[in-house]
Chains A and B, each alone.
Chain A
Amino acid sequence: MKIDKQRLLDGYRTMRVIREFEERVHKEFMTGQIPGFVHLYAGEEASAAAVCQQLGEYDTVASTHRGHGHSIAKGCDVMGMMKEIYGREGGLCGGKGGSMHIADLDVGMLGANGIVGGGAPLVCGAALTAKTLKTGGLSVAFFGDGAFNQGTTLESMNFARVYDLPVLFVLEDNGYAESTASSWSIGGHDPVRRAEGFGIKGARVDGHDYFAVYRAAEEAVAAIRNGEGPRFIHIEFTRYYGHFEGDAATYKKPGEVQDERRYLDALKFFRARTTGGGMLKAEDLDAIDAEVDTLIDAAVREAKAAPPPALSTLTTDVYLSY
Chain B
Amino acid sequence: MKATCWMGKGSVEVRNVPDPKILNQRDAIVRITSTAICGSDLHLYNGFIPTMKKGDVLGHEFMGEVVEVGHGVKNLKVGDRVVVPFTIACGNCWHCQHDYWSLCENSNPNAALAETMMGHAASGAFGYSHLTGGFAGGQAEFARVPFADVGPLKIENGLSDEQVLFLSDILPTGYMGAEMCDIKPGDTVAVWGCGPVGLFAIKSAYLLGAERVIAIDRFEYRLTMAREKCGADTVNYEEVDSVTETLIEMTARRGPDSCIDAVGMEAHGHGLEYMYDRTKQALMLESDRPLALRQAILACRNGGTVSVIGVYGGLVDKVPLGTIMNRSLTIRSGQCHVHRYMRPLLDRIEKGEIDPTMVITHRMPLGDAAKGYDIFLNKEDNCEKVVLSA
Q: Do A and B bind each other?
A: no
- A→B interface (CB under 8 Å): none
- B→A interface (CB under 8 Å): none
